[in-house]
Amino acid sequence: MNAPRITRELVLDTAMRIVENDGVAALSMRRLAADLDVAVTAIYWHVGNRETLVGQLVDRVVGRFGDIAPEGAGPRERVIAVGAALRRRVHAHPHLIALVYEHGRTALMMLPAERALAREVTAAGLAPAHAALVVRAVLHHVVGFALLERAVQRSPAQHPSAAELWGDGAEIGVSPAVAAELARPADPDDLFDRSLRALVAGLLGGPA
Amino acid sequence: MNAPRITRELVLDTAMRIVENDGVAALSMRRLAADLDVAVTAIYWHVGNRETLVGQLVDRVVGRFGDIAPEGAGPRERVIAVGAALRRRVHAHPHLIALVYEHGRTALMMLPAERALAREVTAAGLAPAHAALVVRAVLHHVVGFALLERAVQRSPAQHPSAAELWGDGAEIGVSPAVAAELARPADPDDLFDRSLRALVAGLLGGPA
DNA sequence: ACCTGAACACCGTTCAAGT
DNA sequence: ACCTGAACACCGTTCAAGT
């Protein structure tokens, strides 16, 4: 009855460290075994195969997401605060988000934000069907935005460049001033804030 | 000077068929070689390694995306029409979208829709900075929405179920009626349409 | 209960050699 | 110019065997 060399927790901790340091692709059973200093097959006894291992990793990360408690005065500001908090959460775990996406656990990841939004629309007294629309539209907008940001971030160098892509805009029916604006890179934080505000304004009524 | 057994075009056609039929994971160099009835290494002469092969595949697909010519009366309806057309495009190539995402080619994929939107905001006479915001906010919303849809689609069976997740809502500060709405699965087409309309209303002004 | 080692069926890629 | 075959360094997984 010697003590086990490794435990399920130790395997998950080590796997998490590999993913956070070197990305998902670096998480192989052999690399994991090497880092744990055991034979590859020992891992299978504790966590099953790679698929279930990654599943446990995902569940651990999203399980650690606590409630979101928005600040702000009035439904609009508070709904926007929930959206911003959710985006910060996604950004805090860039590698693991890829795993969440791959494993279709996005619904689970969104749950705390979904509950927080549901509380806000309840407090605002919205009609149930409309309330559900607001919750879902904001969730989709925020998480979709964050997913897309990650994709654009690791975009290879653009060929042709944005500038020559738009030219002066004239030949494709776009005003030169608009073409010039679109040729410049966008500030993602600003874009997120303004588009979320527009969405919430459109959902809850009132001026943007 | 015998005729070559395979060509670059033939390799790409075959690779595309594998991806569309069996998904990205099924596209291995050895499977591809088998389908082409040549040695694995022959592929390398024509298209380089797997990474560049997939890159060529992506460029081919997005290159075939033509212009988007929206219908509808007035800027709001026409902007919404562009968004809906872009989503239909993404849905038409479910497997390849994963490749586009993996390879950071989303910007290229969005380009026709970006141009179409730029035309509409030009025609509507919006101020340049605001025009660019409208274009980018709609693009991000639509593509992000589509990406998220794919993730949720292949979601494993939810445990716990949506119903027991929400309960009657009371203990988490959510009204029973709202909880009941959120416990039901959403209609993605309806959600897309309504949230896009809300966003555009918030961006362009006027009632949702 | 927990771990090892051998084995199997896969990968992508390089390189010398053939025609 | 175009293709083959051998070889290398990887994968995930199963299974019998050890303690």
Task: Examine residue B4 and say whether the peptide bond preceding it is cis (omega within 30 degrees of 0).
Answer: no
Regarding predicted confidence, which is higher, B100 or A154?
A: B100
User: Among A152-156, A183-187, B74-78, B199-203, which is the least confidently predicted range?
Assistant: A152-156
Confidence of residue B153 (pLDDT cuts 50, 70, 90): confident
> In this model, does residue A1 exceed pLDDT 60?
no
Question: What's the mean pLDDT in A96-115?
Answer: 86
pLDDT surpassing 60 at residue A57: yes
pLDDT-based confidence at residue A169 (cuts at 50, 70, 90): confident
The two structure tokens encoding residue B10:
């033939």
Q: Could you say which of B129, B195, B203 has the minimum Cβ distance to residue A141?
A: B195
What does the pLDDT average to over A165-178?
Answer: 86
Please give the nucleotide, over all strands, whose C1' is closest to the CA of residue A29: D12
Protein-contacted bases of chain D (C-beta within 7 A): 1-6, 10-16
**Higher-pLDDT residue of B157, A80:** A80
A39, pLDDT greater than 70: yes
pLDDT number for residue A159: 61
Q: Which residues contact B195 (CB under 8 A, 6 or more apart)?
A: A133, A136, A137, A140, A141, A199, A203, B141, B145
Q: Does the pLDDT value for residue A108 go beyond 90? A: no
End-to-end alpha carbon distance in chain A? 68
Q: What is the mean pLDDT of residues A148-154?
A: 80
Q: Is the pLDDT of residue B148 over 80?
A: yes
- According to the model, what pLDDT value does residue A207 have? 64
For residues A161-182, give the mean pLDDT. Answer: 85
Asked whether the beta carbons of residue A200 and residue B197 sit closer than 8 angstroms, the reply is no
Is residue B118 scored above 80 in pLDDT? yes
Q: Is the pLDDT score of B156 beyond 70?
A: no
Instruction: Find out whether the peptide bond into A112 is cis, omega within 30 degrees of 0.
Output: no
User: Is pLDDT at B157 greater than 70 in this prediction?
Assistant: no
Q: Please determine, for residue B162, whether its predicted confidence score (pLDDT) is greater than 90.
A: no
pTM (predicted TM-score): 0.92
Determine what percent of chain A is predicted with pLDDT higher than 90.
Answer: 72
pLDDT band at A168 (very low <50, low <70, confident <90, very high): confident
**Could you tell me if B18 and B27 are in contact, meaning their C-beta atoms sit under 8 angstroms apart?**
yes
Residues of chain A with CATH 1.10.10.60: 8-63
CATH 1.10.357.10 location in chain A: 70-204
The confidence band for B208, taking pLDDT boundaries of 50, 70 and 90, is low
Q: Do A199 and B202 touch (CB under 8 A)?
A: yes
Contact call for residues A202 and A194 (beta carbons, < 8 A) = no
Query: For residues A1 and A160, what is the distance between their CA atoms, to the nearest angstrom?
Result: 66
Q: Which of A182, A184, A197 to mutate to test the interface with B (most CBs of B within 10 A)?
A: A182
Q: Give the per-residue pLDDT at B150.
A: 84
B26: amino acid identity, one letter = A
Q: What single letter denotes the amino acid at residue B203?
A: L
- CB-CB neighbors (< 8 A) of B148 in chain A: 106, 140, 143-144, 147
Q: Give the rounded distance of the alpha carbon of B67 from its chain centre.
A: 16
Pick the most confident of A104-113, A165-174, B24-33, B101-110. Answer: B24-33
Nearest Cβ partner for A191 among B128, B140, B146 = B140
Summary mean pLDDT of chain A:
91
Output the CATH code of domain B70-204. 1.10.357.10
Whether B103 has a pLDDT exceeding 90, the answer reads: no
pLDDT score recorded for residue A5: 94
For residue A160, name the pLDDT band (cuts at 50, 70, 90).
low
Average pLDDT over residues B76-100: 92
Residues 6+ away with beta carbon under 8 Å from B124? B75, B131, B204
Q: Please give the pLDDT value at position A35.
A: 98
Residue B42 has pLDDT above 60, yes or no: yes
State the average pLDDT for chain B.
91
Comparing A118 with A158, the larger pLDDT belongs to: A118
- In CATH terms, the fold of domain B8-63 is Arc Repressor Mutant, subunit A (1.10.10)
Residue with the larger pLDDT of the pair B30 and A157: B30
